[in-house]
Structures are given as C-alpha cells and as structure tokens.
Amino acid sequence: MNEVQNTKPIVGIIMGSDSDLPIMQAAADVLTGFGISFELTVVSAHRTPLRMVQYANSAKKRGLKIIIAGAGGAAHLPGMVASITSLPVIGVPIKSSNSIDGWDSVLSILQMPNGIPVATVALNGAKNAGILAASFIGAFDDTIGKKVEAFKQTLENEVLAKVSKLKTDGWQNQFD
C-alpha cells in the first residue's frame, strides 16, 4: 500500500450511519492504496440535516474535490449533498437492515432529478466508488492518473493469466 502523501483531505467519505462503515471501508482502503488523502465521517440526511448542509456547504472551501456518500434505506444523503455542493458526488447504495433487498437504496440514489446528478455505483459498491474517485482525480493529477492506469493494467494481467491457465489446464479442471 502507498502512504498518503498529502494530509489535507481531498475526498470526503460520508455515510448515514456508523453501521455503514463495514461497506464504506472499501472506499477508504482504495483511496489509501492510491495515496489519496480523505476524511471519513457520519452525516445523516435525516437525523442531522443541519450537519449535512454545513458539511456540503463547506466541503469545497475546505479543499475537498469529490464526495463519496453511502446510505441505505431511503438513501437521501448522496442526492441532498449533491443538491447543495458543486462538487461531484458518488453515491453508494447500501443494503441496510431495514432495506428492501437494497433496491430502495439503489433507486433513491440512481433516480435523481435533472440538474442534480449523482454518480451511482452498485449496491455495496464502495470499492468502485473509491476507484471512480481516483479516476476523477487522476484526470487532473498525473501521479494519481498513472496509479489508476497501473491498477487497470493489473486487472488486465490477472484476466490474461486466467485465460492462460484455462488454455493450459482446460476448463474442466478449474474447480478441482
């Protein structure tokens, strides 16, 4: 893993409840791996709406470049934050204990009205949210961009190694 060089956070990771942390940890792990500084906290759209407004209003002034917002159930946090800030927001729908198989969270984040976009990843897809945030940052930061390119090359190499193994061992012998 790479050390985070800049201690001033440029990504905000927020979640509606601390029960979301086991999912959102994946975004933090990815950002740490890319050497991207971040902050992580709980901001509930329903239980702490004034904190949510203050967080979204101050994010850009505090140096954040992007916000990853995870929420379950009604999942209003990503959209409400996106309605307040001009920063890009990546929404992570979370299958929570009161969820309807996660579909309520997915649709709450995905179906934003025109003018308030939220980039939405898969249910519990915080890892992809971290990769997407790194890609956005890498578009303007060559160091991060090269790390994202190397990461994607690693993915390709892993698939090609599996292709080679299938050719060598045969598909019938893959599950022994």
For residue range 119-164, list pLDDT tens digits in order. 999 999 999 999 999 999 999 999 999 999 999 999 999 999 999 9
Q: Where are the alpha helices (DSSP H) in the chain?
A: 21-34, 49-58, 77-84, 103-110, 126-138, 142-169
* pLDDT, position 5: 46
- Asked if the structure places residue 40 within a domain, the reply is yes
In this structure, is residue 2 part of a structural domain?
Answer: no
Question: Distance between CA 115 and CA 132 in Å, rounded?
Answer: 21
Residues that constitute the known binding site for substrate:
17, 20, 47
Q: What is the pTM of this model?
A: 0.92
Q: Is the pLDDT confidence value at 115 over 90?
A: yes
The parent domain of residue 63 ranges over 11-169
Q: Does the residue 175 lie in any domain?
A: no
pLDDT at 2 over 70: no
Q: Tell me the binding residues.
A: 17, 20, 47
Retrieve residue 38's tokens.
């971040």
Question: What is the C-alpha to C-alpha distance for residues 26 and 32, in angstroms, rounded to an integer?
Answer: 10
- Those residues whose C-beta lies under 8 Å from the C-beta of residue 172, and which sit 6 or more positions away, are none
Residue 92's contacts (CB-CB under 8 Å, 6 or more residues apart) are 23, 24, 27, 68, 69, 70, 71, 78, 109, 121, 124, 125, 126, 129
> What tens digit of pLDDT does each residue of 27-50 get?
999 999 999 999 999 999 999 999
pLDDT of residue 176: 57
pLDDT score, position 175: 64
Domains identified in the chain, total number? 1
Instruction: Check which CATH number belongs to the domain holding 102 and give it.
Output: 3.40.50.1970
pLDDT band at 92 (very low <50, low <70, confident <90, very high): very high
